[in-house]
């Protein structure tokens, strides 16, 4: 067969060009068209689908805020203009926490000591508290909304006023809080909440003596394998003392040293007490009052106590505390509205109080004699305080003869006539109609 050279030569050229193109593609391609049987050219390693940094575990954190005694109503009910009840009926419930909302709304959980009865039951009767001065606190169930409007998520009801109106009043209070969307901490019943992969367990408890530690420890042991971080929020101690009772120091330090809990916070004294750290466990002995309907002139120093819990990539937990100094009220007397302090000196005063070294005190019997007016004790405790250390009873003219606080004036007149309790039970029947 004879081939036409004019046709053959161009055809061969085209075939050679095609072969060359495929060879070039094969050598320069990132991935070969087919797996070679043999060869000396290494394949480039496959690129990872994610970067190493993206697969590493990151630190996570949860910030908790604790606020002190929240008494959201009084009894006998004072409905006069300017009273707590008057504000709760004439202002939105958000009024009470609006000056601290900027802090509490930015944390992950806020825990409060809710210290009054919340019930719409008109048939509730106050419990008998025996002789001597005593107080009963209650409000409508709707006042639970003061806490939720203030960005509070957890309420402790372990205190000495939540049962002021018996078991039925207590049950109503728990229901009122739960209906408002709050988690409720009852006596030594663990409460759990979780965020950012950190599960927290909270034990609310009374602590009036070391003998109660057993109940607290049992609750902590129950929580041991159910959460990452364990907190004790207790109620106890002597009112008006800026240094914790000796028994309270011993009990809290024993808890810290036991390794059963990671944080301890206290309430009840109505004043601030120091912060210390024992075996890595922060102990805030008292966070004072917060939204406090208890009287018109409480000590005007409080804090939002914060703890930020960080979990690292290895699962280890650390705690960093923060103090936000606050006023219980702003103005000449209680307007039921705690506020963050901006004044540098007032902030420094509170920080000095919180950072005071914790010391044991010599227990002494109270005296009915006020200090000399020239003494430092008199000047220290008559500025704006109506709760006093148990070593000294100091009664100021303002306390005995308040110009506007007629309720407390009546209470103490009745007390000295030794018929306060009888008068109270007669009066309660008439004022309960405010509902």
Whether residue 174 sits in one domain with residue 76: yes
Confidence (pLDDT) at 377:
41
Q: Is residue 2 part of a domain?
A: no
127-141, 299-313, 387-401, range with the lowest pLDDT = 387-401
The number of domains in the chain is: 2
State both tokens at 182: 């709050």
Q: Is residue 360 part of a domain?
A: no
Whether residue 258 sits in one domain with residue 150: yes
Whether residue 414 sits in one domain with residue 276: no
- Asked if residue 58 has pLDDT above 80, the reply is yes
Q: Is residue 38 part of a domain?
A: no
Q: Which helix (H) or strand (E) holds 14?
A: helix 5-28
Q: Across the chain, which distance is largest between two alpha carbons, in Å?
A: 143
Q: Is residue 43 part of a domain?
A: no
State both tokens at 226: 């159910």
Whether residue 221 sits in one domain with residue 112: yes
Whether residue 426 sits in one domain with residue 307: no
Question: How does residue 362 score in pLDDT terms, banded at 50, 70 and 90?
Answer: confident
Label residue 70 left, alpha or beta by phi (over 0 means left) and psi (-120 to 50 means alpha): beta
DSSP for 100-135? Answer: THHHHTTSSEEEEEE-SEE---TT--PPP--SS---
Q: Is residue 109 part of a domain?
A: yes
Q: Is residue 397 part of a domain?
A: yes
Question: How does residue 133 score in pLDDT terms, banded at 50, 70 and 90?
Answer: confident
61 beta partners: 310
Whether residue 337 sits in one domain with residue 219: yes
- Asked if residue 371 has pLDDT above 60, the reply is no
Confidence (pLDDT) at 363:
67
Of 407 and 208, the structure prediction assigns the larger pLDDT to: 208
Looking up tokens 């008439």, which residue turns up? Answer: 430
Whether residue 129 sits in one domain with residue 258: yes
Confidence (pLDDT) at 324:
99
Confidence (pLDDT) at 378:
36
Q: Is residue 130 part of a domain?
A: yes
Average pLDDT over residues 386-395: 34
| pTM attached to this predicted model | 0.74
pLDDT tens sequence across 12-57: 454 555 544 444 444 444 434 333 333 333 333 444 444 444 446 6
Q: Is residue 295 part of a domain?
A: yes
- How far apart (Å, rounded) are the C-alpha atoms in residues 21 and 15? 10
Average pLDDT over residues 371-389: 39
Whether residue 428 sits in one domain with residue 330: no
252 contacts 233 by C-beta, under 8 angstroms: no
Average pLDDT over residues 75-84: 84
Average pLDDT over residues 313-332: 96
Expressed as residue numbers, the domain containing 337 is 60-354
Whether residue 347 sits in one domain with residue 250: yes
pLDDT tens sequence across 85-131: 999 999 999 999 999 999 999 999 999 999 999 999 989 999 999 98
Confidence (pLDDT) at 331:
87
Which of 320, 354, 388 is the last residue in one of the domains? 354
Whether residue 336 sits in one domain with residue 427: no
Whether residue 329 sits in one domain with residue 424: no
Confidence (pLDDT) at 57:
65
29-43, 64-78, 207-221, 359-373, range with the lowest pLDDT = 29-43
Burial of 148 (0-12, 13-18, 19+ CB in 10 A): middle
Q: Round to the nearest angstrom and report the end-to-end CA distance of the chain.
A: 120
Residues in contact with 211: Cβ distance below 8 Å, sequence separation at least 6, in sequence order: none
pLDDT tens sequence across 154-194: 999 999 999 999 999 999 999 999 999 999 999 999 999 99
Which of 290, 319, 354 is the last residue in one of the domains? 354
Which of 354, 387, 402 is the last residue in one of the domains? 354
Question: 168: domain CATH number?
Answer: 3.60.21.10
- Asked if residue 318 has pLDDT above 50, the reply is yes
Whether residue 305 sits in one domain with residue 418: no
């Amino acid at each position: 067969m004879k081939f036409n050279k004019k046709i053959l030569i161009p055809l061969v050229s085209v075939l050679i060009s095609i072969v060359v193109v495929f060879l070039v593609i094969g050598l320069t391609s990132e991935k070969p068209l087919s797996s070679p049987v043999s060869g000396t050219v290494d394949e480039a390693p496959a690129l990872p689908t994610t970067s190493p940094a993206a697969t590493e575990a990151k630190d996570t954190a949860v910030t908790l805020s604790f606020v002190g005694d929240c008494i959201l109503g009084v009894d006998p009910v004072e409905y006069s203009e300017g009273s707590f009840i008057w504000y709760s009926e004439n202002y939105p419930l958000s009024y009470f926490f609006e000056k601290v909302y900027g802090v509490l709304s930015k944390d992950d959980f806020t825990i409060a000591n809710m210290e009054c009865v919340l019930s719409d039951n008109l048939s509730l009767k106050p419990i008998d508290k025996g002789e001597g001065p005593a107080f009963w606190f209650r409000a409508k169930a709707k006042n639970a909304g003061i806490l939720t409007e203030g960005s509070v998520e957890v309420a402790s009801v372990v205190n000495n006023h939540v049962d002021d109106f018996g078991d039925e009043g207590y049950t109503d209070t728990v229901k009122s809080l739960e209906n408002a969307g709050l988690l409720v901490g009852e006596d030594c019943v663990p409460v759990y909440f979780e965020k950012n992969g950190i599960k927290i367990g909270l034990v609310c408890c009374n602590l009036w003596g070391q003998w109660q530690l057993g109940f607290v420890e049992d609750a902590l042991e129950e929580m041991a394998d159910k959460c990452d971080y364990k907190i004790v929020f207790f109620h106890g101690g002597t009112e008006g003392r800026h240094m914790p009772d000796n028994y309270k120091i011993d009990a809290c330090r024993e808890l810290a040293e036991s390794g059963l809990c990671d944080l301890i916070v206290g309430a009840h004294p109505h004043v601030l007490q120091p912060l210390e750290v024992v075996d890595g466990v922060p102990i805030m002995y008292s966070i004072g009052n917060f939204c406090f309907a208890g009287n018109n002139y409480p000590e005007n120093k409080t804090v939002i106590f914060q703890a930020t819990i960080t979990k690292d990539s290895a699962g280890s937990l650390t705690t960093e505390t923060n103090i936000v100094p606050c006023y219980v009220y702003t103005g000449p007397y209680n307007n039921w509205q705690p506020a963050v302090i901006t004044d540098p000196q007032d902030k420094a005063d509170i920080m000095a109080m919180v950072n005071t070294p914790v010391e044991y005190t010599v227990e002494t019997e109270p005296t009915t004699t006020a200090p000399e007016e020239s003494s430092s004790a008199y000047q220290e405790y008559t500025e704006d305080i109506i709760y006093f250390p148990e070593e000294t009873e100091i009664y100021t003219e303002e306390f005995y003869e308040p110009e506007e606080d007629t309720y407390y004036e009546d209470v103490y007149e009745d007390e000295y006539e030794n018929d306060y309790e009888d008068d109270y039970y007669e009066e309660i029947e008439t004022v309960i109609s405010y509902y």
